[in-house]
């Protein structure tokens, strides 16, 4: 059965925080979609709004944060209109998430086996015995070499990489349609990162689970994803296939990000970081939010806010240089 129906459609999403010191517009007018089984990366520097985007999709934005505009369609159903109970059901069955630091998501007083078995019982409504069998299957699927030992271990007894494998097993055991992975490998060393990404990608293909992969490191996504969305100052500034982004980045910010990604540049080339810092969302520049750091900025960039321009089917850019 062929279907062009997207799995997830985020439309004009804005999430703001209403703090004592004023409104913080963390993300603004975010629009994108993910097809079933597709692997998409959301890339941007710290503070650009990646986690606020993922928490908004999960329905987990806490006060003083609030979705102030937009819709999040999952299988054509608007998540922003769901009751807490119905959202819980979606989080249990259809959309899973893994975070950067699994230790905070695991309870230190319970064994890994307990975590897995409880999760599987809640999700799949099976007996304890059956849940245990499924748990072992999953420990093998995420290529944990000593499943029996790991099952009996407590979270602090495992390495970061092993803990993250356990989290991936817990997240995928419900066969979700979408996995949101928010910097799942940032805390790990490069070899372990690669192994974990490989496990995620293999399992996502096997289960036909789409992945929204969040990272500040473009180098990590090169082999992993189909498509990349670049975020800056709470907005998407470029969307592109991974190949196109690496060969012909369009937005000056994407170009800067690529230059400062050590893993994909020639080893003898100088690391060329983007000057300046990400603006605080409480204090965003007028016009194009990137203009104070942009080597290509011209007078209009200081006052005119560029819209997202469609260059072709798979490539969009938010930059006045590309106006026809």
Ligand X SMILES: Nc1ncnc2c1ncn2[C@@H]1O[C@H](COP(=O)(O)OP(=O)(O)OP(=O)(O)O)[C@@H](O)[C@H]1O
Query: In the complex, which residues of this chain contact Mg ion (CB under 5 A)?
Result: 50-51
Alpha-carbon gap, residue 9 to 11, rounded angstroms: 6
Tell me which of Mg ion, ligand X, none is bound by residue 252, counting a contact when its beta carbon lies within the kind-specific cut-off of 5 to 8 angstroms: none
Smallest distance, Mg ion to C-beta of residue 51, A: 3
The nearer residue to Mg ion, 44 or 70, going by C-beta atoms, is 44
Q: What residues contact 237, with CB distance under 8 A and at least 6 apart?
A: 230, 231, 251, 253, 254, 290, 317, 318, 319
Smallest distance, ligand X to C-beta of residue 54, A: 8
Q: What residues contact 314, with CB distance under 8 A and at least 6 apart?
A: 227, 239, 240, 241, 244
Tell me which of ligand X, Mg ion, none is bound by residue 173, counting a contact when its beta carbon lies within the kind-specific cut-off of 5 to 8 angstroms: none
Smallest distance, ligand X to C-beta of residue 6, A: 23
Three-class SS of residue 275? Answer: coil
The nearer residue to ligand X, 122 or 282, going by C-beta atoms, is 282
The nearer residue to ligand X, 49 or 59, going by C-beta atoms, is 49
Smallest distance, ligand X to C-beta of residue 45, A: 7
> Sheet harboring 22-34: ordered strands across?
22-34, 8-19, 65-74, 77-78
Residues forming contacts to ligand X in the complex (CB under 6 A) are 17, 19, 24, 26, 44, 46-52, 65, 216, 281
The nearer residue to ligand X, 142 or 167, going by C-beta atoms, is 167
Exposed e or buried b for every residue in 212-237, given b needs 16+ CB within 10 A? bbbbbbbbbbbebbbbbbbbbbbbbb
Tell me which of Mg ion, ligand X, none is bound by residue 147, counting a contact when its beta carbon lies within the kind-specific cut-off of 5 to 8 angstroms: none
């Amino acid at each position: 059965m062929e279907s062009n129906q997207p799995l997830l459609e985020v439309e004009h999403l804005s999430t703001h925080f209403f703090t004592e010191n004023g409104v913080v517009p963390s993300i603004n007018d975010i629009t994108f979609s993910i097809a079933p089984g597709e692997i998409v990366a959301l890339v941007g520097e710290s503070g650009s709004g990646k986690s606020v985007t993922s928490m908004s999709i999960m329905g987990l934005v806490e006060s003083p944060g609030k979705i102030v505009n937009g819709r999040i369609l999952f299988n054509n159903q608007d998540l922003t209109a769901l009751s807490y109970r119905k959202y819980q059901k979606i989080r249990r069955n259809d959309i899973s998430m893994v975070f950067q630091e699994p230790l905070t998501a695991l309870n230190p007083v319970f064994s890994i086996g307990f975590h897995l078995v409880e999760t599987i019982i809640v999700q799949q409504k099976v007996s304890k015995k059956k849940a245990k069998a499924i748990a072992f299957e999953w420990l093998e699927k995420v290529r944990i070499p000593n499943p029996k030992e790991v099952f009996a271990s407590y979270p602090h007894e495992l390495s970061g990489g092993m803990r993250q494998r356990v989290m991936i097993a817990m997240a995928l055991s419900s066969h979700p349609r979408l996995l949101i992975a928010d910097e799942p490998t940032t805390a790990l060393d490069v070899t372990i990162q690669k192994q974990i990404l490989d496990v995620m990608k293999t399992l996502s293909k096997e289960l036909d689970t789409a992945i929204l992969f969040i990272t500040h490191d473009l180098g990590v996504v090169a082999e992993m994803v189909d498509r990349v969305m670049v975020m800056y100052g709470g907005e998407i500034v470029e969307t592109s296939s991974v190949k196109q982004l690496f060969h012909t980045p369009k937005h000056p910010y994407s170009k800067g990000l690529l230059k400062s990604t050590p893993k994909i540049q020639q080893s003898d080339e100088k690391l060329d970081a983007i000057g300046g810092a990400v603006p605080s969302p409480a204090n965003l520049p007028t016009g194009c939010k990137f203009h104070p750091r942009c080597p290509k900025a011209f007078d209009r960039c200081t006052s005119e806010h560029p819209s997202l321009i469609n260059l072709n089917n798979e490539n969009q850019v938010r930059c006045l240089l590309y106006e026809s």
